[in-house]
Amino acid sequence: MLDMTIIRQQPERVQAIADRKGIPVSLERILVLDQLKRTLQQQTEELRRERNVRSEQMAVRKRTGEHHPEGWEAFEKERAEIRALGAKLAKLEEEWNAVGAELDSLLLLVPNLVSPDTPDGKSDADNVEVKRVGEPQAQSFPLRDHVELGETLGLLDLPRGVKVAGSRNYYLTGIGAQLHRAVQQLAIDLLLRRGFTLLDVPLLVKPEAMASTGFFPLGEDQVYRIQGEGTCLVGTSEASLVAYYGGEIVSVEEPIRLTAATACFRSEVGSAGRDVRGLYRVHQFAKVEQVVLCEADEEAGERCLAEITENAEELLRLLELPYRVVAVCIGDMSQKTYKQFDIETWMPSRLAYGETHSASLLGDFQARRAGIRYRDAKGELKYCFTLNNTAVATPRILIPLLENHQNEDGSVTIPRALRPYLNGLDRIVPVRNDIPV
Protein backbone atom coordinates (compact mmCIF):
# COMPACT_ATOMS: atom_id res chain seq x y z
CA MET A 1 0.00 0.00 0.00
CA LEU A 2 1.31 3.41 -0.89
CA ASP A 3 1.83 6.03 1.81
CA MET A 4 -1.20 8.35 1.73
CA THR A 5 1.11 11.35 2.03
CA ILE A 6 2.68 10.46 -1.32
CA ILE A 7 -0.75 10.13 -2.91
CA ARG A 8 -1.75 13.57 -1.66
CA GLN A 9 1.51 15.19 -2.75
CA GLN A 10 2.08 13.41 -6.08
CA PRO A 11 -1.29 12.30 -7.48
CA GLU A 12 -0.31 12.99 -11.11
CA ARG A 13 2.80 10.82 -10.80
CA VAL A 14 0.88 7.97 -9.19
CA GLN A 15 -1.93 8.20 -11.77
CA ALA A 16 0.61 8.03 -14.60
CA ILE A 17 2.09 4.83 -13.12
CA ALA A 18 -1.38 3.32 -12.69
CA ASP A 19 -2.21 4.11 -16.30
CA ARG A 20 1.08 2.64 -17.50
CA LYS A 21 0.46 -0.55 -15.53
CA GLY A 22 -3.11 -0.77 -16.79
CA ILE A 23 -4.65 -0.43 -13.32
CA PRO A 24 -8.18 1.07 -13.40
CA VAL A 25 -8.07 3.50 -10.50
CA SER A 26 -8.88 7.21 -10.25
CA LEU A 27 -6.53 9.22 -8.06
CA GLU A 28 -8.91 12.17 -8.40
CA ARG A 29 -11.70 10.13 -6.79
CA ILE A 30 -9.33 8.99 -4.04
CA LEU A 31 -8.41 12.59 -3.18
CA VAL A 32 -12.10 13.59 -3.08
CA LEU A 33 -12.88 10.70 -0.73
CA ASP A 34 -9.81 11.40 1.38
CA GLN A 35 -10.85 15.01 1.93
CA LEU A 36 -14.49 14.02 2.58
CA LYS A 37 -13.43 11.39 5.09
CA ARG A 38 -11.27 13.88 7.00
CA THR A 39 -14.10 16.42 7.02
CA LEU A 40 -16.59 13.83 8.25
CA GLN A 41 -14.13 12.67 10.89
CA GLN A 42 -13.73 16.22 12.20
CA GLN A 43 -17.51 16.75 12.25
CA THR A 44 -18.03 13.40 13.96
CA GLU A 45 -15.46 14.11 16.66
CA GLU A 46 -16.89 17.57 17.36
CA LEU A 47 -20.44 16.25 17.55
CA ARG A 48 -19.36 13.36 19.78
CA ARG A 49 -17.63 15.78 22.16
CA GLU A 50 -20.74 17.99 22.33
CA ARG A 51 -23.01 15.01 22.98
CA ASN A 52 -20.69 13.62 25.65
CA VAL A 53 -20.37 16.96 27.49
CA ARG A 54 -24.13 17.53 27.54
CA SER A 55 -24.84 13.92 28.51
CA GLU A 56 -22.39 14.18 31.41
CA GLN A 57 -24.01 17.42 32.60
CA MET A 58 -27.41 15.74 32.60
CA ALA A 59 -26.00 12.70 34.40
CA VAL A 60 -24.54 14.94 37.11
CA ARG A 61 -27.93 16.59 37.65
CA LYS A 62 -29.56 13.18 38.00
CA ARG A 63 -27.00 12.03 40.56
CA THR A 64 -27.22 15.20 42.62
CA GLY A 65 -30.97 15.69 42.28
CA GLU A 66 -30.38 19.14 40.84
CA HIS A 67 -33.20 20.42 38.66
CA HIS A 68 -32.71 22.19 35.38
CA PRO A 69 -32.46 25.93 36.15
CA GLU A 70 -35.25 26.62 33.68
CA GLY A 71 -37.60 23.94 34.92
CA TRP A 72 -38.85 20.48 33.93
CA GLU A 73 -39.81 21.38 30.36
CA ALA A 74 -36.30 22.69 29.72
CA PHE A 75 -34.91 19.41 31.15
CA GLU A 76 -37.00 17.34 28.75
CA LYS A 77 -35.99 19.60 25.87
CA GLU A 78 -32.34 19.12 26.78
CA ARG A 79 -32.77 15.35 26.82
CA ALA A 80 -34.51 15.42 23.43
CA GLU A 81 -31.69 17.52 21.97
CA ILE A 82 -29.13 15.01 23.25
CA ARG A 83 -31.09 12.18 21.63
CA ALA A 84 -31.16 14.17 18.38
CA LEU A 85 -27.40 14.66 18.65
CA GLY A 86 -27.03 10.89 19.03
CA ALA A 87 -29.13 10.24 15.92
CA LYS A 88 -27.19 12.83 13.94
CA LEU A 89 -23.94 11.31 15.17
CA ALA A 90 -25.04 7.83 14.10
CA LYS A 91 -25.86 9.11 10.62
CA LEU A 92 -22.51 10.89 10.36
CA GLU A 93 -20.66 7.76 11.49
CA GLU A 94 -22.53 5.69 8.93
CA GLU A 95 -21.56 8.12 6.18
CA TRP A 96 -17.97 8.23 7.45
CA ASN A 97 -17.75 4.43 7.42
CA ALA A 98 -19.18 4.24 3.90
CA VAL A 99 -16.71 6.80 2.59
CA GLY A 100 -13.87 5.02 4.40
CA ALA A 101 -14.86 1.67 2.91
CA GLU A 102 -14.88 3.06 -0.65
CA LEU A 103 -11.58 4.83 -0.03
CA ASP A 104 -9.95 1.67 1.35
CA SER A 105 -11.11 -0.38 -1.64
CA LEU A 106 -9.62 2.16 -4.05
CA LEU A 107 -6.36 2.41 -2.10
CA LEU A 108 -5.88 -1.33 -2.59
CA LEU A 109 -5.69 -0.63 -6.33
CA VAL A 110 -3.08 2.12 -6.12
CA PRO A 111 0.28 0.98 -7.52
CA ASN A 112 3.68 1.37 -5.97
CA LEU A 113 6.04 4.05 -7.21
CA VAL A 114 8.74 2.88 -9.61
CA SER A 115 12.47 3.43 -9.37
CA PRO A 116 13.98 6.27 -11.41
CA ASP A 117 16.01 3.78 -13.48
CA THR A 118 13.04 1.57 -14.38
CA PRO A 119 12.59 1.60 -18.18
CA ASP A 120 9.43 3.12 -19.58
CA GLY A 121 7.30 0.81 -21.68
CA LYS A 122 4.01 -1.02 -22.04
CA SER A 123 4.93 -4.72 -22.21
CA ASP A 124 7.76 -7.24 -22.01
CA ALA A 125 8.76 -6.17 -25.51
CA ASP A 126 10.02 -2.95 -23.93
CA ASN A 127 12.20 -4.62 -21.28
CA VAL A 128 15.89 -3.75 -21.55
CA GLU A 129 18.67 -6.33 -21.59
CA VAL A 130 21.38 -5.44 -19.06
CA LYS A 131 23.47 -8.61 -19.00
CA ARG A 132 24.04 -11.79 -20.98
CA VAL A 133 25.90 -14.87 -19.75
CA GLY A 134 26.78 -17.72 -22.10
CA GLU A 135 25.68 -18.11 -25.70
CA PRO A 136 23.33 -20.67 -27.24
CA GLN A 137 25.33 -23.51 -28.72
CA ALA A 138 24.87 -24.27 -32.40
CA GLN A 139 24.27 -27.98 -33.00
CA SER A 140 24.95 -30.00 -36.14
CA PHE A 141 21.87 -32.17 -35.61
CA PRO A 142 18.12 -31.41 -35.54
CA LEU A 143 17.14 -30.32 -32.03
CA ARG A 144 14.19 -31.92 -30.24
CA ASP A 145 11.99 -29.90 -27.93
CA HIS A 146 11.49 -30.79 -24.28
CA VAL A 147 8.21 -32.60 -24.97
CA GLU A 148 9.79 -35.01 -27.45
CA LEU A 149 12.84 -35.43 -25.22
CA GLY A 150 10.69 -35.96 -22.15
CA GLU A 151 8.62 -38.65 -23.81
CA THR A 152 11.52 -40.58 -25.36
CA LEU A 153 13.56 -40.34 -22.17
CA GLY A 154 10.63 -41.61 -20.11
CA LEU A 155 10.42 -38.60 -17.83
CA LEU A 156 7.25 -36.83 -18.97
CA ASP A 157 3.65 -37.94 -19.60
CA LEU A 158 1.39 -35.16 -20.84
CA PRO A 159 -1.59 -37.22 -22.14
CA ARG A 160 -2.21 -38.84 -18.76
CA GLY A 161 -1.84 -35.47 -17.04
CA VAL A 162 -4.62 -34.09 -19.23
CA LYS A 163 -6.69 -37.25 -18.77
CA VAL A 164 -6.55 -36.98 -14.98
CA ALA A 165 -6.51 -33.23 -14.35
CA GLY A 166 -7.37 -31.42 -17.57
CA SER A 167 -5.38 -29.05 -19.79
CA ARG A 168 -2.03 -27.64 -18.66
CA ASN A 169 -1.38 -30.63 -16.40
CA TYR A 170 1.27 -33.32 -16.59
CA TYR A 171 3.04 -36.21 -14.92
CA LEU A 172 6.78 -36.26 -14.33
CA THR A 173 7.84 -39.88 -14.23
CA GLY A 174 10.93 -41.73 -13.06
CA ILE A 175 14.04 -39.69 -13.72
CA GLY A 176 11.82 -36.69 -14.57
CA ALA A 177 10.48 -36.57 -11.02
CA GLN A 178 14.01 -37.04 -9.68
CA LEU A 179 15.30 -34.18 -11.84
CA HIS A 180 12.42 -32.02 -10.63
CA ARG A 181 13.46 -32.68 -7.02
CA ALA A 182 17.17 -32.38 -7.71
CA VAL A 183 17.04 -28.81 -9.05
CA GLN A 184 14.98 -27.76 -6.02
CA GLN A 185 17.46 -29.27 -3.58
CA LEU A 186 20.38 -27.70 -5.43
CA ALA A 187 18.68 -24.30 -5.04
CA ILE A 188 17.88 -24.90 -1.35
CA ASP A 189 21.47 -25.89 -0.57
CA LEU A 190 22.74 -22.79 -2.38
CA LEU A 191 20.46 -20.51 -0.35
CA LEU A 192 21.28 -22.20 2.96
CA ARG A 193 24.95 -21.53 2.31
CA ARG A 194 24.05 -17.89 1.79
CA GLY A 195 22.28 -17.41 5.09
CA PHE A 196 18.66 -18.15 4.25
CA THR A 197 16.33 -19.86 6.72
CA LEU A 198 14.25 -22.67 5.23
CA LEU A 199 10.56 -22.79 6.19
CA ASP A 200 7.87 -25.33 5.37
CA VAL A 201 4.85 -23.09 4.87
CA PRO A 202 1.06 -23.28 4.48
CA LEU A 203 -0.12 -23.60 0.89
CA LEU A 204 -3.69 -22.79 1.94
CA VAL A 205 -3.94 -19.26 3.30
CA LYS A 206 -6.70 -16.83 4.23
CA PRO A 207 -7.73 -14.16 1.72
CA GLU A 208 -6.47 -11.60 4.25
CA ALA A 209 -2.96 -13.00 3.84
CA MET A 210 -3.22 -12.63 0.06
CA ALA A 211 -4.46 -9.04 0.37
CA SER A 212 -1.85 -8.07 2.95
CA THR A 213 0.95 -9.30 0.69
CA GLY A 214 -0.39 -7.55 -2.40
CA PHE A 215 -1.85 -10.48 -4.36
CA PHE A 216 -5.46 -9.31 -3.89
CA PRO A 217 -7.54 -7.70 -5.26
CA LEU A 218 -5.80 -7.39 -8.64
CA GLY A 219 -4.57 -10.99 -8.78
CA GLU A 220 -7.69 -12.76 -7.58
CA ASP A 221 -8.49 -14.24 -10.99
CA GLN A 222 -5.21 -16.20 -10.88
CA VAL A 223 -6.01 -17.88 -7.56
CA TYR A 224 -7.82 -21.11 -6.79
CA ARG A 225 -10.23 -20.77 -3.85
CA ILE A 226 -11.39 -23.61 -1.62
CA GLN A 227 -15.15 -23.32 -1.57
CA GLY A 228 -16.74 -23.42 1.87
CA GLU A 229 -13.46 -23.02 3.73
CA GLY A 230 -12.55 -19.41 2.98
CA THR A 231 -8.97 -20.23 1.99
CA CYS A 232 -6.87 -19.93 -1.16
CA LEU A 233 -4.10 -21.97 -2.76
CA VAL A 234 -0.95 -19.87 -3.06
CA GLY A 235 0.59 -19.12 -6.44
CA THR A 236 3.94 -18.58 -4.73
CA SER A 237 5.25 -19.13 -1.22
CA GLU A 238 6.04 -15.41 -1.14
CA ALA A 239 2.54 -14.88 0.25
CA SER A 240 3.11 -17.34 3.11
CA LEU A 241 6.66 -16.16 3.83
CA VAL A 242 5.83 -12.44 4.03
CA ALA A 243 2.59 -13.03 5.97
CA TYR A 244 4.64 -15.02 8.53
CA TYR A 245 5.67 -11.69 10.09
CA GLY A 246 2.35 -9.89 9.46
CA GLY A 247 1.46 -7.35 12.14
CA GLU A 248 4.78 -7.80 13.95
CA ILE A 249 7.78 -5.68 14.88
CA VAL A 250 10.96 -7.40 13.71
CA SER A 251 14.69 -6.84 13.89
CA VAL A 252 16.40 -6.11 10.58
CA GLU A 253 19.86 -5.15 11.81
CA GLU A 254 20.76 -8.03 9.51
CA PRO A 255 18.29 -8.63 6.66
CA ILE A 256 15.83 -11.45 7.29
CA ARG A 257 16.34 -14.06 4.56
CA LEU A 258 13.65 -16.71 4.13
CA THR A 259 13.13 -19.50 1.63
CA ALA A 260 10.60 -22.25 1.01
CA ALA A 261 10.23 -25.04 -1.53
CA THR A 262 6.56 -25.55 -2.30
CA ALA A 263 4.00 -26.56 -4.83
CA CYS A 264 2.28 -23.53 -6.39
CA PHE A 265 -1.05 -23.17 -8.18
CA ARG A 266 -2.24 -20.65 -10.76
CA SER A 267 -5.36 -20.61 -12.88
CA GLU A 268 -3.58 -18.92 -15.83
CA VAL A 269 -6.68 -16.90 -16.64
CA GLY A 270 -5.97 -14.73 -19.66
CA SER A 271 -3.44 -17.11 -21.19
CA ALA A 272 -5.85 -19.17 -23.31
CA GLY A 273 -4.11 -20.31 -26.45
CA ARG A 274 -0.67 -19.20 -25.24
CA ASP A 275 2.16 -21.65 -24.49
CA VAL A 276 -0.18 -24.63 -24.65
CA ARG A 277 2.50 -27.16 -25.59
CA GLY A 278 4.60 -28.70 -22.88
CA LEU A 279 5.67 -27.39 -19.50
CA TYR A 280 6.08 -23.64 -19.98
CA ARG A 281 2.70 -22.54 -18.59
CA VAL A 282 0.99 -25.03 -16.29
CA HIS A 283 -1.51 -24.92 -13.43
CA GLN A 284 0.67 -26.67 -10.85
CA PHE A 285 4.40 -26.23 -10.44
CA ALA A 286 7.07 -25.96 -7.76
CA LYS A 287 9.19 -23.01 -6.69
CA VAL A 288 12.07 -22.38 -4.36
CA GLU A 289 11.36 -18.80 -3.35
CA GLN A 290 13.58 -16.14 -1.82
CA VAL A 291 12.04 -13.48 0.44
CA VAL A 292 14.08 -10.78 2.16
CA LEU A 293 13.07 -8.15 4.72
CA CYS A 294 15.49 -5.28 5.31
CA GLU A 295 15.60 -1.75 6.67
CA ALA A 296 13.78 0.99 4.78
CA ASP A 297 16.87 2.30 3.03
CA GLU A 298 17.36 2.65 -0.72
CA GLU A 299 20.96 1.43 -0.66
CA ALA A 300 20.08 -1.55 1.53
CA GLY A 301 17.24 -2.44 -0.82
CA GLU A 302 19.52 -2.25 -3.86
CA ARG A 303 22.13 -4.47 -2.16
CA CYS A 304 19.52 -7.09 -1.32
CA LEU A 305 18.10 -6.95 -4.86
CA ALA A 306 21.56 -7.56 -6.29
CA GLU A 307 22.06 -10.41 -3.81
CA ILE A 308 18.90 -12.34 -4.64
CA THR A 309 19.41 -11.80 -8.36
CA GLU A 310 22.94 -13.18 -8.07
CA ASN A 311 21.62 -16.23 -6.20
CA ALA A 312 19.36 -17.05 -9.14
CA GLU A 313 22.16 -16.41 -11.62
CA GLU A 314 24.45 -18.72 -9.70
CA LEU A 315 21.85 -21.48 -9.93
CA LEU A 316 21.74 -21.08 -13.72
CA ARG A 317 25.53 -21.14 -13.92
CA LEU A 318 25.53 -24.36 -11.91
CA LEU A 319 23.03 -25.77 -14.40
CA GLU A 320 25.33 -24.63 -17.22
CA LEU A 321 22.58 -22.72 -19.00
CA PRO A 322 22.90 -19.55 -21.12
CA TYR A 323 20.77 -16.70 -19.83
CA ARG A 324 20.25 -12.97 -19.85
CA VAL A 325 19.06 -10.40 -17.30
CA VAL A 326 16.55 -7.74 -18.32
CA ALA A 327 15.38 -4.61 -16.54
CA VAL A 328 11.59 -4.83 -16.50
CA CYS A 329 9.66 -1.81 -17.78
CA ILE A 330 6.80 -0.08 -15.97
CA GLY A 331 4.05 -1.67 -18.03
CA ASP A 332 5.35 -5.21 -17.43
CA MET A 333 5.63 -4.85 -13.64
CA SER A 334 2.97 -5.84 -11.13
CA GLN A 335 1.13 -3.34 -8.96
CA LYS A 336 3.40 -3.81 -5.95
CA THR A 337 6.80 -3.71 -7.66
CA TYR A 338 9.19 -0.76 -7.33
CA LYS A 339 12.06 -2.25 -9.33
CA GLN A 340 12.39 -5.60 -11.11
CA PHE A 341 14.87 -7.73 -13.00
CA ASP A 342 13.80 -10.82 -14.92
CA ILE A 343 16.20 -13.60 -15.77
CA GLU A 344 15.47 -15.32 -19.05
CA THR A 345 17.05 -18.65 -19.99
CA TRP A 346 17.71 -19.75 -23.56
CA MET A 347 15.11 -22.25 -24.77
CA PRO A 348 16.11 -23.73 -28.15
CA SER A 349 12.60 -24.95 -29.03
CA ARG A 350 11.30 -21.39 -28.71
CA LEU A 351 14.34 -19.91 -30.48
CA ALA A 352 14.23 -17.33 -27.72
CA TYR A 353 14.96 -16.62 -24.10
CA GLY A 354 12.10 -17.54 -21.76
CA GLU A 355 11.49 -16.07 -18.32
CA THR A 356 12.60 -18.42 -15.52
CA HIS A 357 13.23 -16.00 -12.63
CA SER A 358 11.93 -12.64 -11.45
CA ALA A 359 13.64 -10.50 -8.78
CA SER A 360 11.66 -7.62 -7.27
CA LEU A 361 12.23 -4.80 -4.81
CA LEU A 362 8.93 -3.60 -3.31
CA GLY A 363 10.11 -0.86 -0.97
CA ASP A 364 7.73 -0.61 2.00
CA PHE A 365 4.62 -1.12 -0.18
CA GLN A 366 4.05 -4.73 0.89
CA ALA A 367 5.07 -4.22 4.52
CA ARG A 368 2.54 -1.41 4.89
CA ARG A 369 -0.23 -3.77 3.88
CA ALA A 370 1.10 -6.58 6.06
CA GLY A 371 1.92 -4.30 9.02
CA ILE A 372 5.57 -5.40 9.33
CA ARG A 373 7.72 -2.81 11.11
CA TYR A 374 11.09 -2.41 12.79
CA ARG A 375 12.74 0.16 15.07
CA ASP A 376 15.42 2.30 13.49
CA ALA A 377 18.54 3.60 15.24
CA LYS A 378 16.45 6.33 16.92
CA GLY A 379 13.90 3.82 18.17
CA GLU A 380 11.25 5.02 15.74
CA LEU A 381 8.95 2.49 14.10
CA LYS A 382 9.26 2.15 10.33
CA TYR A 383 7.90 -0.23 7.75
CA CYS A 384 10.40 -2.73 6.36
CA PHE A 385 11.45 -3.04 2.75
CA THR A 386 10.59 -6.44 1.25
CA LEU A 387 12.07 -8.26 -1.74
CA ASN A 388 11.43 -11.55 -3.49
CA ASN A 389 12.96 -13.71 -6.18
CA THR A 390 12.58 -17.18 -7.61
CA ALA A 391 15.64 -19.33 -6.92
CA VAL A 392 14.23 -21.95 -9.27
CA ALA A 393 10.81 -22.83 -10.72
CA THR A 394 10.19 -26.30 -12.03
CA PRO A 395 9.09 -27.89 -14.31
CA ARG A 396 9.71 -24.75 -16.41
CA ILE A 397 13.46 -24.96 -15.75
CA LEU A 398 13.40 -28.48 -17.22
CA ILE A 399 12.71 -26.95 -20.65
CA PRO A 400 16.15 -25.32 -21.04
CA LEU A 401 17.81 -28.02 -18.98
CA LEU A 402 16.75 -30.79 -21.36
CA GLU A 403 16.95 -28.83 -24.58
CA ASN A 404 20.35 -27.22 -24.04
CA HIS A 405 22.01 -30.42 -22.82
CA GLN A 406 20.64 -32.82 -25.45
CA ASN A 407 22.92 -34.96 -27.58
CA GLU A 408 22.62 -36.28 -31.12
CA ASP A 409 21.80 -39.81 -29.92
CA GLY A 410 18.74 -38.51 -28.04
CA SER A 411 20.37 -38.59 -24.61
CA VAL A 412 20.69 -35.62 -22.25
CA THR A 413 23.84 -34.81 -20.30
CA ILE A 414 23.34 -33.99 -16.62
CA PRO A 415 25.21 -30.87 -15.43
CA ARG A 416 27.94 -31.71 -12.92
CA ALA A 417 26.30 -29.77 -10.08
CA LEU A 418 23.17 -31.94 -10.31
CA ARG A 419 24.88 -35.32 -10.40
CA PRO A 420 25.30 -35.70 -6.60
CA TYR A 421 21.50 -35.31 -6.29
CA LEU A 422 20.92 -38.07 -8.87
CA ASN A 423 23.21 -40.74 -7.39
CA GLY A 424 26.04 -39.77 -9.72
CA LEU A 425 24.00 -40.11 -12.92
CA ASP A 426 25.74 -38.22 -15.72
CA ARG A 427 23.41 -38.91 -18.63
CA ILE A 428 19.75 -39.71 -19.27
CA VAL A 429 19.35 -42.16 -22.10
CA PRO A 430 16.26 -42.93 -24.20
CA VAL A 431 13.91 -45.64 -23.00
CA ARG A 432 12.44 -46.02 -26.49
CA ASN A 433 14.31 -47.52 -29.39
CA ASP A 434 12.37 -45.76 -32.14
CA ILE A 435 14.16 -42.44 -31.90
CA PRO A 436 15.50 -41.17 -35.22
CA VAL A 437 19.20 -40.31 -34.99
- Kindly list the catalytic residues: 266, 281, 355, 358, 396
Give the Cα separation of 300 and 338 in Å (integer).
Answer: 14
Determine whether 207 is exposed, middle or buried from the number of CB atoms within 10 Å of its CB (0-12, 13-18, 19+). Answer: middle
Give the Cα separation of 118 and 329 in Å (integer).
Answer: 6
Tell me, what amino acid is at 150?
A: G
Determine whether 100 is exposed, middle or buried from the number of CB atoms within 10 Å of its CB (0-12, 13-18, 19+). Answer: middle
- Helices and strands (H and E) in the chain: how many: 12, 18
Strands 249-250 and 373-375 come out as parallel
Give the Cα separation of 334 and 111 in Å (integer).
Answer: 8
Give the Cα separation of 244 and 201 in Å (integer).
Answer: 9
H-helix segments, 319-422? 365-370, 398-404
- In eight-state DSSP terms, residue 125 is G
